[in-house]
């Protein structure tokens, strides 16, 4: 296949996977709209497995255990089946979408001459990042019972992909000389993975804040969201995974590469500054979780602040900072470093 | 910052009365080393790092900084007072991270002692009422109490738990695991200090410098050869490695892309020797492939064109000759440069203008259509008079001081433009002399640096990562198993029944021990079935 054919394939695959994500979103919306009038899972404990020897059954964090109100009578069973059906349909569509998404990434890499990893510019970083978000959501789906997150993840991914295609799309170009290094693979892949993890963690923390506001006894779709304790723990686990990966990306591989390419392993480049800020905020989040007075709400807010700095670093610095050597947005200068720069 | 206002030291403590200095000091120390303060300092540090990414920084891009300062004459003095042009060296930024480090050390050292005491202490005895713990389970067994407890010891030992030594008459087993979590935590925090030490060493004893070197020239590593040189505070000139190299040739590949033509695979071929007279070696210096000579790292940072220009003055003397580096303005390599010949007679000659690597007139507009030097054209304006070079202040070689100079005009009274192709010579009006464009040589910008302590920083950050993983993923927990004999009224055979209670406690604040508890209980009960089958 020629490079142009690969590129066309990639562009088309992005479109198709976007459609599948959108269909998945519709399925999840149908699923969730059927949940009006639902009461919290705890209130119908009989539905949860009572067989466990543990006195505290493992929370059915948003999994298939859907409790319905006592006043619903006949339609209940039918409704439960509909919810489960559309939930499974949404998941299936997401899986199909993520496979096509992968095809798009591979096509993007194959379209370049020489072939390379598909994260050389903002468009490619965005499509790789959204891929990681979906993939991680699917991998953790069972382990952390993330069914409640489905509409949020899918809506997020489909909107970000739209932004990527409309505003960020650029044709495949060879890498600028400074990017042409195997560190591109290691440094950026870890940054993408950490970004994906922090994004999922942020969604969980945001949901914690919503649930905290409405209270544990919320009815309707929110009843299906796991309890505050579970949300907090899931959020912590995801962040605890993302944080070391982020450390590896920005404080180990980043400096090593910077030293090779720009002669200084840490030069307070705006991108480095913001990566450091993100690191510090997430460090604060991890500390806050075990500090009296900061647990819960403040910790969740910190997680969202961290996410905001992360995204600002990605979007803001690329577009607004002219000093950053990391500006790989459209029209980045070809010369490695202007002479005036020391 | 509201939780620990600086004036809070004057507040009476709940016990009442004034604090003496010693108590005050202790109170302040306790405040500083508290987690809450560390947390606030972390957030303040994050906040304090922001201005440095918005305001141009002296140490990052001095050219941009001076331009910004010129554009903002009112803000500049204020910003300068606040060290906003060098945020990361500023006293207030240093104050924050030094406080954070003090807080960290003050927190970690006592914790180390606590930890050392804790590992020598056996797991605590079982609480009186295990069912009060959030995660507990119980079942009945028809084995004896001792058998159950023995099995519990075996099961927990096999799962890596440390057991409390058995006591006479005790009806319970206490077990604990995950001691390494705190080690990871301590290693992480201490490594942060190590990283900072490495970073500080680089800043104090290192240097960074750069030079523009044209093809065919040689370079000896002395400070005088650098165009810019930034030593650390404790750098001494003896640290300079005495290497020499010659820049033999420059290769570049141009690749046409949809984003314009990009330079690819550029490569400066060097011949270097560790010191003058030593064995010569060859190296292809490329981006991402620095050369290490002694303690110095040599990097290829940028490249451009240096037109070779010869100026003769009105008296026929050659007053300027040689390659003159021009600065690329964008990726088309349209380049700007300056020639100064202050010795020219009868008047000084200053030239300023553009180099078009591949010149073409497109619709009457001069353009460069390709960044390679296929059809180079120099287009220069001419100045004469006082070029400001008599004053011994250092002047940039890329800027012409035109404040006391006058622009040379052509016959029509308009500013004179010299358009020169290679090999062309143009005579200047008023008997000033001639200008010749001989050829074009490539130049490279080479960066030199010594970063002592970079290995320390790297080791520190790797240790920090390992410690961090330990402190995040090792789950410390305690498990208790209690077995009690119950008078067996309810039991079918009237024999006595052993009631077994198991409880687990997560001590990390992030773990879910319910599944662990379930596994342990299943194992305890499965072990029992196996025994039964054997019998």
Instruction: Please state, as a whole number, how many other Cβ atoms lie within 10 Å of the Cβ of residue B411.
Output: 7
B330–A264: do the CB atoms touch at under 8 Å?
no
What local confidence, expressed as pLDDT, does residue A39 receive?
55
Which residue of chain B has the CA closest to A272? B53
CB contact, 8 Å: A65 with chain B? no
What local confidence, expressed as pLDDT, does residue A50 receive?
35
Render each residue's pLDDT in chain B as its tens digit; 535 residues.
333 444 444 444 445 467 788 888 888 888 888 888 888 999 999 999 999 888 888 877 777 888 888 888 899 999 989 889 988 889 999 999 999 999 999 989 999 999 999 888 888 888 888 888 888 888 888 888 888 888 889 899 998 899 988 877 788 899 999 899 999 999 999 999 999 999 999 989 999 888 999 999 999 999 888 988 888 889 998 889 999 999 999 998 888 776 678 777 788 999 999 988 889 999 999 888 999 999 999 999 888 999 999 999 888 889 999 999 998 888 788 999 999 888 888 888 899 999 999 998 888 888 888 888 889 999 999 998 888 777 666 677 788 888 888 888 888 888 888 899 999 999 888 888 999 999 999 999 999 999 999 999 999 999 999 999 999 999 889 999 988 887 655 545 556 788 888 999 988 766 778 888 888 888 888 765 554 444 4
Residue A71 domain-assigned (yes or no)? no
Q: Do residue A25 and residue A118 come from a single domain?
A: yes
- Count of structural domains, chain A: 2
CB contact, 8 Å: B57 with chain A? yes
A115 or B531, which is more confident = A115
Residue A154 domain-assigned (yes or no)? yes
Return d(Cα A197, Cα A203) in angstroms, integer.
Answer: 10
What local confidence, expressed as pLDDT, does residue A59 receive?
41
Residues of B in Cβ contact (< 8 Å) with A55: 131, 136-137
A340–B263: do the CB atoms touch at under 8 Å?
no
Domains in chain B: boundaries: 21-118, 123-178+475-534, 202-303+447-462, 305-443
Residue A341 domain-assigned (yes or no)? no
A334–B135: do the CB atoms touch at under 8 Å?
no
What local confidence, expressed as pLDDT, does residue A326 receive?
64
Residue A338 domain-assigned (yes or no)? no
- Which parts of B223-259 are beta strand (E)? 228-231, 244-257
Q: Do residue A125 and residue A183 come from a single domain?
A: no
Which residue of chain B has the CA closest to A174? B257
Residues of A in Cβ contact (< 8 Å) with B371: 334
Instruction: Please state, as a whole number, how many other Cβ atoms lie within 10 Å of the Cβ of residue B220.
Output: 12
Q: Which residues, 6 or more positions from B49, have their beta carbon under 8 angstroms from its beta carbon? A: A273, A276, A277, A280, B87, B88, B93
Return d(Cα B268, Cα A338) in angstroms, integer.
Answer: 17
Element (H, E) at B505: strand B497-506
B208–A342: do the CB atoms touch at under 8 Å?
yes
B287–A180: do the CB atoms touch at under 8 Å?
yes
Q: Do residue A140 and residue A250 come from a single domain?
A: no
Residue A337 domain-assigned (yes or no)? no
Buried b (16+ CB within 10 A) or exposed e, B1-27: eeebeeeeeeeeeeeeeebeeeeeeee
**For a pLDDT cut of 90, what percent of chain A falls above it?**
46
Which residue of chain B has the CA closest to A334? B331
CB contact, 8 Å: A256 with chain B? yes
- A69 pLDDT band, cuts 50/70/90, is very low
When mean pLDDT is compared over A8-12, A221-225, B162-166, the highest value belongs to A8-12
- Decide which of A155, A174, A193 is a domain's last residue: A174
Which residue of chain A has the CA closest to B447? A263
Q: Do residue A216 and residue A98 come from a single domain?
A: no
What local confidence, expressed as pLDDT, does residue B264 receive?
77
- Decide which of A141, A156, A174 is a domain's last residue: A174
What local confidence, expressed as pLDDT, does residue A255 receive?
93
What local confidence, expressed as pLDDT, does residue B459 receive?
96
A322–B64: do the CB atoms touch at under 8 Å?
yes
A230 or B256, which is more confident = A230
- Decide which of A156, A174, A192 is a domain's last residue: A174
Mean pLDDT over A218-247 rounds to: 88
Range of the domain at A235: 176-329
Pick the CATH number of B123-178+475-534 from 3.40.109.10, 3.40.50.720, 3.30.310.80, 3.40.50.300: 3.30.310.80
CA distance B231 to chain A (A): 12
Q: Do residue A26 and residue A164 come from a single domain?
A: yes
CB A183 within 8 A of CB A256: yes
CB contact, 8 Å: B62 with chain A? yes
Return d(Cα A308, Cα B514) in angstroms, integer.
Answer: 34
* Bridge pairing between strands B477-486 and B359-362: unpaired
Output helix, strand, coil percentages for chain B, rounded to the nearest 5: 35, 35, 35
What local confidence, expressed as pLDDT, does residue A52 receive?
37
Mean pLDDT over A259-267 rounds to: 86
pLDDT higher than 50, residue A342: no
* pTM (predicted TM-score): 0.85
Enumerate residues 490 to 509 of chain B having a beta carbon within 8 A of any beta carbon in chain A: 509
Enumerate residues 243 to 282 of chain B having a beta carbon within 8 A of any beta carbon in chain A: 255, 257-260, 262-266
CA A291 to chain centre: 27
Q: Do residue A142 and residue A222 come from a single domain?
A: no
CA distance A28 to chain B (A): 28
Write the Ramachandran bin of B509: left for phi over 0, alpha for psi from -120 to 50, otherwise beta. Answer: left
What local confidence, expressed as pLDDT, does residue B307 receive?
94
Query: In a 3-state reduction of DSSP, which class is residue A96?
Result: helix
B521–A54: do the CB atoms touch at under 8 Å?
yes
Mean pLDDT over A275-294 rounds to: 90
- A262 pLDDT band, cuts 50/70/90, is confident
CB contact, 8 Å: B35 with chain A? yes
What local confidence, expressed as pLDDT, does residue A141 receive?
92
């Amino acid at each position: 296949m020629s490079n142009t054919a690969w590129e066309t394939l990639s562009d088309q695959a992005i479109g198709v996977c976007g459609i599948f994500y959108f269909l998945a979103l519709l399925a999840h919306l149908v699923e969730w709209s059927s949940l009006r009038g639902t009461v919290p899972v705890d209130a119908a404990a009989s539905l949860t497995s009572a067989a466990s020897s543990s006195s505290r059954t493992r929370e059915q964090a948003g999994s298939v255990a859907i409790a319905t109100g006592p006043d619903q009578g006949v339609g209940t069973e039918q409704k439960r089946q509909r919810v489960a059906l559309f939930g499974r349909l949404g998941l299936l569509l997401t899986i199909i979408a993520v496979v096509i998404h992968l095809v798009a990434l591979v096509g993007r890499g194959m379209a370049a001459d020489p072939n390379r990893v598909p994260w050389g510019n903002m468009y490619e970083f965005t499509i790789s990042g959204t891929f990681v978000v979906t993939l991680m959501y699917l991998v953790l789906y069972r382990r952390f019972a993330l069914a409640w997150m489905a509409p949020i993840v899918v809506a997020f991914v489909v909107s970000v992909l739209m932004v990527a295609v409309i505003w960020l799309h650029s044709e495949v170009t060879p890498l600028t000389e400074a990017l042409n290094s195997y560190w591109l693979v290691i440094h950026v892949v870890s940054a993408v993975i950490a970004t994906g993890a922090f994004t999922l963690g942020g969604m969980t923390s945001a949901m914690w804040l919503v649930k905290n506001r409405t209270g544990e006894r919320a009815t309707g779709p929110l009843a299906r969201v796991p309890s505050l304790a579970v949300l907090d723990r899931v959020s912590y686990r995801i962040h605890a995974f993302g944080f070391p990966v982020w450390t590896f990306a920005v404080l180990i591989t980043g400096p090593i590469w910077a030293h090779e390419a720009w002669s200084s392993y840490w030069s307070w480049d705006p991108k480095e500054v913001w990566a450091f800020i993100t690191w510090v905020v997430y460090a604060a989040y991890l500390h806050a979780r075990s500090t009296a007075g900061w647990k819960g709400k403040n910790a969740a807010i910190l997680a969202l602040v961290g996410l905001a700095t992360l995204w600002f670093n990605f979007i803001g610095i690329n577009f607004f900072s002219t000093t950053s050597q990391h500006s790989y947005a459209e029209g980045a200068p070809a010369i490695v470093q202007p002479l005036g720069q020391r | 910052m509201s939780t620990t206002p600086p004036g809070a030291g004057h507040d009476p403590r709940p016990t009442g009365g004034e604090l003496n200095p010693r108590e005050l000091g202790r109170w302040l120390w306790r405040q500083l080393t508290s987690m809450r303060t560390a947390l606030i300092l972390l957030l303040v540090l994050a906040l304090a790092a922001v201005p440095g990414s918005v305001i141009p920084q002296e140490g990052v891009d001095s050219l941009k900084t001076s331009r910004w300062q010129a554009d903002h004459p009112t803000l500049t003095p204020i910003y300068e007072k606040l060290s906003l042009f060098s945020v990361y060296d500023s006293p207030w930024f240093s104050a924050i991270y030094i406080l954070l480090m003090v807080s960290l050390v003050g927190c970690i050292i006592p914790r180390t002692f606590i930890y050392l005491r804790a590992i020598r202490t056996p797991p605590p005895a079982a609480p009186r009422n295990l069912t009060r713990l959030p995660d507990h389970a119980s079942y009945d067994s028809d084995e004896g109490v001792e058998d159950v407890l023995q099995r519990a010891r075996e099961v927990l030992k096999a799962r890596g738990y440390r057991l409390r030594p058995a006591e006479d008459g005790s009806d319970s087993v206490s077990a604990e695991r995950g001691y390494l979590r705190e080690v990871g935590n301590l290693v992480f925090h201490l490594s942060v200090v190590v990283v900072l030490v490495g970073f500080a060493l680089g800043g104090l004893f290192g240097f960074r410098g750069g030079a523009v070197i044209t093809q065919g020239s040689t370079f000896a590593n002395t400070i005088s050869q650098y165009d810019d040189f930034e030593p650390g505070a404790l750098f001494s000139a003896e640290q300079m490695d005495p290497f020499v190299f010659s820049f033999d040739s420059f290769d570049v590949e141009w690749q046409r892309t949809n984003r314009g033509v990009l330079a690819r695979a550029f490569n400066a071929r060097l011949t270097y020797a560790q010191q003058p007279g030593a064995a010569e070696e060859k190296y292809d210096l490329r981006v991402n492939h620095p050369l290490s000579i002694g303690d110095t790292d040599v990097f290829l940072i940028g490249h451009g064109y240096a037109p070779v220009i010869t100026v003769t003055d009105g008296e026929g003397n050659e007053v300027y000759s040689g390659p003159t580096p021009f600065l690329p303005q964008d990726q088309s390599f349209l380049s700007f440069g300056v020639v100064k010949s202050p010795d020219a007679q009868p008047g000084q000659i200053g030239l300023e203008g553009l180099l078009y690597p591949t010149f073409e007139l497109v619709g009457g507009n001069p353009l460069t259509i390709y960044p390679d030097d296929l059809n180079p054209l120099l287009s220069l304006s001419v100045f004469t008079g006082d070029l400001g070079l008599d004053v011994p202040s250092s002047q940039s070689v890329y800027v012409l001081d035109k404040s006391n100079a006058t622009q040379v005009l052509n016959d029509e009274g308009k500013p004179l433009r010299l358009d020169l192709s290679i090999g062309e010579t143009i005579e200047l009006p008023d008997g000033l002399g001639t200008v010749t464009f001989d050829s074009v040589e490539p130049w490279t910008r080479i960066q030199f640096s010594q970063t002592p302590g970079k290995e320390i920083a790297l080791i520190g950050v790797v240790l920090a990562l390992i410690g961090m993983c330990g402190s995040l993923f090792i789950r410390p927990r305690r498990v208790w198993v209690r077995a009690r004999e119950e008078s067996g009224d309810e039991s079918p055979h009237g024999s006595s029944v052993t009631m077994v209670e198991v409880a687990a406690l997560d001590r990390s604040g992030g773990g879910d021990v319910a599944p662990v508890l379930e596994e342990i209980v299943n194992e305890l009960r499965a072990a029992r079935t196996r025994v039964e089958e054997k019998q």
